[in-house]
Structure 1
Amino acid sequence: MISSHGQSMTSAHYARMGENECRQIHMGTLEILERTGVDVHHEKAREILAAAGASVDGIRVRIPEYMVTRALAQAPERLTLYNRNKKPAIRAWGYNTYYGGGSDCLNILDHSTGERRLPLLSDVVEAAKVMDSLPEIDFVMSLFLPNDVDQSIYDRYQMEVMLNHTTKPIVFVTPDFEGCVAAVEMCEAVAGGEENFRRHPFATCYINVTSGLIANEEALQKCIYLAEKGLPQLWIPLNAGGVNSPATTAGCMANMNAGIMLGVVLSQLVRPGSPIAMPGWNGGPYNLQTMVGNYVLADEQGVPTTMGRYYNLPVFGLGGSTDSKVLDQQAGIEMTISLMTALMHGANIVHDVGFMESGLQGSLQLQVMANETIGFLRAATRGVTVDEETLALDVTDEMGPSGTYLQHPHTIRHYKEPFYSKLFDKSGYSQWEKKGSLTMGEKAAKVVDDILAAYKPKPLPEDVQQKIKAIVKREQEWIDSKR
């Protein structure tokens, strides 16, 4: 019997900061909340915070330490998202990591032509199909901002498309509070009622908060609304170190963390135990050379995620992106690095797979390439099972120094276990030539074409489709009446 004395390594992890660094940032956050405060641009939110003990001076809110401590004790460390069939699909806690696309790219890198162009609603449909079909992609986002629908309510059209073209969990983004309400209403129609959706949420809202020390009205409205319903939310204030917060990583993170704690406090005051996730990116220096909001920067990698692990809160991370404008070496490197750091640090729900050009461009080819990379990384960081079967000492003794293991029953039992990529070329040069000398980008484009030609997501029942369509129609009529 092989014994490990009860100790095992289940996977490979890395922490950017230690306990002492995290505690210092936490203590700095508490001082910022008590001394400087946060601008809260919503009267109801200020009233809720004041009733619980916060100091309110105009829009400036100062939160004492005990409110933060109480909220952290109440906020769950788990955030579970289900698929449309009510099966748990994302268990966001600890070092569980799941990957998905991003939202609202203003351009698409067309896989058929290689051209950068404006996206249409049909591109949102195709993106949903591709993400639904790729095995290593765990949740769906819209990826593109469609140019051929009313720009005031584009998110309603995106939500209708996603609900109709995936059974995987959905992360949605809305530019206004009304859009969040409409999206939840659509989900409740799919789930068969408000309580059914609350018990088995298959979608969650990514709430964009202005910054660590400025909480905008729409974000606060969404936070309160989702907490009242007991639905999970992704509360994401982001800072730009050197622009709207200190240029140092620690200073930027402490500043941003104040806004994160505001969301945690508010959500738990509304409904204790309401699931909430914090951001797993930014919290570091902005690119002051270009003044462009880059998606893959070295200094911020893992910093907010490590704080999330310190608090035992779910982390909404970022990976699979690049600031490159084309599918070149930079794209491959940044896509892989950002996927790897998110996984190693323990970000739970990792979005923006397929983003390019600082989030201004999206690529289905890059999503296909990232899908293979995620499979590789999961295999490369997976724990190693060491027992009698895997050590195979009897097999080694049986075969001896010159034995051939190819046809041995032990090999037959295990040869399918390693990761074998369907996209990376591992053959010899002559075999590669015979198969067309295709680059990885060319092969990825073919995969996209194959998916779009043959893949059919499971459709919603016709009556549910009509209910969702009616909500979108109502929203269109509402926005038209305001003009």
Structure 2
Amino acid sequence: MHKAAVLSEEELKKINSTSLKILNEVGIGFHYDYALDLFKKAGFKVDNGKVFFTEEQVDEYVSKAPSFFTVKAMNPEKNIPIGRGYISFAPGYGSPFIVEEGCNRQATLSDFRNFAILTGSSPHIDFSGGILLDMKDVPADIKHKVGILELLRHSDKPFMGSSDGARGAKDSIKMAEIVFGEDFVANKPVMVNLINANSPLAYSKTSLESMIEYSKVSQPLIISSITMAGATAPATLAGALALQNAEVLAGIVFSQLINPGNPVIYGGASAVTDMQDGELSVGGGETVLFATASAQLAREYNLPVRGGGGSVTDAKIHDNQSSQESGMTLLGTVAADTDFILHAAGSLQFYNAMSYEKFIFDEDLCGTMKYIKKGLNIDEEKLAFDVIKEVGCCGEFLSNIHTFNHFREEFHFPKVSDRHTYSKWVDMGSNESLEVAKRMLKERLEENRNKNYLDSTTEKQLMKYAGLDEKDNLTAS
């Protein structure tokens, strides 16, 4: 599949040059004394809480990060390669609300569990997720542990750890060690962890603590910047991109300072500000431009890349706007040859809410994207000259054995979209796609609710660590 591009080689050089100028002359605020001391000891200029980077320092440290790595799963068949043209999808992340019947309500542990079941049983979502939802009914100090427990129970895929400072990272690592073993986690990537810069031009103590803990055991980091053009970045897309790039490069340098060779993913997640009310806007063409440019920049540094969202939208409910924007942003991100796509399923309201029905639609769309990503398989059998010659002029291929032998592997069959004729669709009950999605949702949850990928001993250890008793009641606060 041809890689989409929006920047010429000369424009890439200009973006990179401006980013290096920002790093060298403006600097990045690292709001953690321990981090500043590490930079000082390594010979970086540090002044008034900011770190300044030379081009040589950026090149030296960024080049230490690998271009490819594999995240291990409980089920080895679900290991996920990152880089080299592979693509992986992860669900929505961090939403405090659920959209039901057109209204927002606060997300709960029950909702988190449902989405963990959906991601775990999904044929197209590769990561079970991280902070699938911000649960209102779970105490803040154990929320991340309860969430990871649910992800591990309901999926044998890789997950995303907590980025809630040293505590969240240590807890994520410990829970992974209970499942995989301490030595395994110390030597193999088993999760991916999202680290966000504080735009403009800063990293918080919380983010830096997380980076340090994960890097100690070589766990992959998405070093991400989500600048808001017009608010936390210049209103020009080029300026916002240069700022984003500077922030991401600074974070990557820090990760390699802690642990040379630590796996990282370049996280380009910038978007624009809706100037009507000052909120983030992710559903427009700007998101595709940012994602495509970010992928080009990441390739310049020989790094895998996270796109700026997947099936994302500004729509408040799953409607025509939602479908239009989600399809555009996901296809644009995939076409850019993005390696890791977060918010690939379920997201509404510029990341602020999740929808069960939209998850089903988006998941189906991810399947289509993987089909498109594979491209065409061209060989003598597929070119089918002998079949064309046999059928000849005015014949038909429908009854030919060649069609029977190949259509299943060559064609993509979406689960939600209806391809029947109008009359057959009417005969089948004239079901709207939303009703189909609701039925699929109910069947999936019922079918997978009682599946548990943990053995009883491991589950009990995780429950105790998470602060739950044997009946899943919260015992900590």
Give the match for residue 454 of structure 1.
447
Pick one of 303, 315, 319 that aligns with 1:324. 315
- State whether structure 2 residue 422 is matched by structure 1 residue 429: yes
C-alpha separation in 2, matches of 1:460 and 1:231? 22
Is the CA contact 1:207–1:233 (under 8 Å) kept in the aligned structure 2?
A: yes
Q: CA deviation at 1:223?
A: 1.2
C-alpha separation in 1, matches of 2:399 and 2:285? 47
Give the match for residue 462 of structure 2.
468
Is the CA contact 1:320–1:339 (under 8 Å) kept in the aligned structure 2?
A: yes
Give the match for residue 4 of structure 1.
none
C-alpha separation in 1, matches of 2:138 and 2:47? 42
C-alpha separation in 1, matches of 2:43 and 2:27? 13
Give the match for residue 268 of structure 1.
256
Deviations 1:395-444 (A, max 9, x none): 22222213332332212210212101221011122221222222211111
Greater alpha carbon shift after TM alignment, 460-469 vs 136-145 = 136-145
- State whether structure 2 residue 142 is matched by structure 1 residue 153: yes
* Two-structure CA RMSD over aligned residues (Å): 2.1
C-alpha separation in 1, matches of 2:110 and 2:474? 22
Residues 381 and 190 (structure 1 numbering): CA distance in 2 closer, same or farther, change over 3 Å? closer
Give the match for residue 335 of structure 1.
326
Is the CA contact 1:12–1:383 (under 8 Å) kept in the aligned structure 2?
A: no
C-alpha separation in 2, matches of 1:61 and 1:251? 21
Deviations 1:255-305 (A, max 9, x none): 1212111111111111111001121320x5422233111222322422222
2:210 aligned partner, one-letter code? K
Give the match for residue 178 of structure 1.
167
C-alpha separation in 1, matches of 2:306 and 2:128? 14
Is the CA contact 1:128–1:166 (under 8 Å) kept in the aligned structure 2?
A: yes
Give the match for residue 46 of structure 2.
56
Give the match for residue 6 of structure 2.
16
1:419 aligned partner, one-letter code? H
Count of paired positions: 466
Give the match for residue 133 of structure 1.
121
C-alpha separation in 1, matches of 2:332 and 2:112? 28
Q: How does 1:2-401 map to 2 (within 5 A)?
A: 11-87=1-77, 89-110=79-100, 115-141=103-129, 142-191=131-180, 193-282=181-270, 284-301=271-288, 302-317=292-307, 318-352=309-343, 353-401=345-393
Pick one of 437, 441, 445 that aligns with 1:444. 437
1:103 aligned partner, one-letter code? Y
1:54 aligned partner, one-letter code? F
Is the CA contact 1:205–1:233 (under 8 Å) kept in the aligned structure 2?
A: yes
- Percent identity at matched positions? 26
Is the CA contact 1:354–1:367 (under 8 Å) kept in the aligned structure 2?
A: yes
Give the match for residue 410 of structure 1.
402
C-alpha separation in 1, matches of 2:339 and 2:11? 21
| Matched residue SS, 2:233 | coil
Q: CA deviation at 1:173?
A: 3.5
C-alpha separation in 2, matches of 1:400 and 1:419? 27
Listed as ranges, the gaps of 5+ residues in structure 2 are: none
Deviations 1:157-184 (A, max 9, x none): 1111111111111123443330121011
Q: CA deviation at 1:115?
A: 4.3
1:291 aligned partner, one-letter code? G
Greater alpha carbon shift after TM alignment, 266-275 vs 372-381 = 372-381
Is the CA contact 2:66–2:303 (under 8 Å) kept in the aligned structure 1?
A: yes
Q: CA deviation at 1:64?
A: 1.4
C-alpha separation in 2, matches of 1:473 and 1:123? 19
| Matched residue SS, 2:98 | strand
C-alpha separation in 1, matches of 2:266 and 2:200? 12
TM-score normalised per structure 2:
0.93
| Matched residue SS, 2:341 | strand
| Matched residue SS, 1:117 | strand
Greater alpha carbon shift after TM alignment, 162-171 vs 309-318 = 309-318
C-alpha separation in 2, matches of 1:100 and 1:333? 20
TM-score normalised per structure 1:
0.91
Residues 78 and 384 (structure 1 numbering): CA distance in 2 closer, same or farther, change over 3 Å? same
| Matched residue SS, 2:79 | strand
Residues 233 and 421 (structure 1 numbering): CA distance in 2 closer, same or farther, change over 3 Å? same
Deviations 1:340-377 (A, max 9, x none): 01100122111112110122210121111012212223
Residues 26 and 273 (structure 1 numbering): CA distance in 2 closer, same or farther, change over 3 Å? same
C-alpha separation in 2, matches of 1:285 and 1:109? 24
Q: CA deviation at 1:88?
A: 5.6
Is the CA contact 1:97–1:349 (under 8 Å) kept in the aligned structure 2?
A: yes
Is the CA contact 1:321–1:335 (under 8 Å) kept in the aligned structure 2?
A: yes
C-alpha separation in 1, matches of 2:77 and 2:98? 32
2:326 aligned partner, one-letter code? M
| Matched residue SS, 1:299 | helix
C-alpha separation in 2, matches of 1:452 and 1:471? 27
